[in-house]
Amino acid sequence: MARKILYIITALSILALPLFAIASDVQQQRSTLYPFQSTVELQEDFLTGTNASGIIGHLGWTAANGAVSAASTTNAPGYTRRDTSAAAGTIASTFHHISGSLVDPTLNHSVLWRVRIVTNDNATTVRAGEATPPTTNPPTGGIYFERLDTDTNWFCVTRSAGVQTRTDSTVATTGNFVNLSYTRNSSGVMWSIDGVAVCGTSTTNIPTAFNLGFTQVINTGAVAKQLDHDYFQLRIVGLTR
């Protein structure tokens, strides 16, 4: 009799289970939090927020000059477009803090920008990386990818107190989205475009003044130019706190 009762209880328990189980029902889910004592990680997909400066994306990006709009396309589910407007020489800057530079470029860190130059011509300047101040042309200091009006390729730039090292990546700029990334460590700055190493290792004119993640799009003539922002990533490691 006791065995029969046990069978009945087991059968009822099985019937009470949900028809479908998901991973979190049957195993402990891993935390998505990073170890804050040693690491900082920021990501931005530009899928939230508004077009107003200070509340763009979930990180609250600041936009100086020009216009801001949002759109979406295949394989870019949400992007922010920065437009210079038709006023010649407009520096349309985008950066992640409104009041101060907060990223120490001497720390071990990496930055990735996924951007698209909408009009890839000889009247458009674009920068993407980190810099200070983010609103001047060029910034006083920074680590960034650059395409000047006269360029047809991306260049890798390390700039400190107005003095820079600029290296040709030999990769042509296009009107397509591109992944621009670099890693700063004790060896210098190592660069890649769409996952392929470029520019070698930069070891001179690496800034020491604090920076901001930033982009710029600048129009030479009185014609509007645009830069689309699909993704940003910042990772700082090796902290002790």
pLDDT digits (tens, 9 = 90+) for 114-171: 999 999 999 999 999 999 999 999 999 999 999 999 999 999 999 999 999 999 999 9
**Buried b / exposed e along 202-236 (16+ C-beta atoms within 10 A):** beebbbebebbbbbbbbbbeeebbbbbbbbbbbbb
DSSP codes, 47-105? -SB-SSTT-BTTTTBEEESSEEEEEEETTEEEEEEEE--SSTT-EEEEES-SS---B-T
One-letter amino acid identity for 214? Answer: F
Q: What is the pLDDT of residues 176-207, one digit of tens each?
A: 999 999 999 999 999 999 999 999 999 999 99
pLDDT interval class at 26 (50, 70, 90): low
Task: Report the predicted TM-score, pTM, of the whole model to 2 decimal places.
Answer: 0.87
Cβ–Cβ under 8 Å, residues 126 and 144: no
Whether the pLDDT of residue 23 is over 80: the answer is no
Top-tier CATH class for 40-237: mainly beta
Interacting residues of 207 by C-beta distance below 8 A, sequence separation 6+: 105, 132, 141, 142, 143, 158, 159, 160, 161
Q: What is the mean pLDDT of residues 23-50?
A: 85
Q: Where are the domains of the chain?
A: 40-237
What's the pLDDT at 16?
43
DSSP codes, 99-155? S---B-TTSEEEEEEEEEESS-STTEEEEEEEEESTTSSS-SEEEEEEE-TT-SEEE
Higher pLDDT, 115 or 21: 115
Count CA atoms within 13 Å of residue 145 on its CB side: 30
Count CA atoms within 13 Å of residue 114 on its CB side: 17
Distance, in Å, from the CA atom of 120 to the CA atom of 127, rounded to the nearest integer, reads 13
Tokens of 139: 């910034």
What's the pLDDT at 12?
38
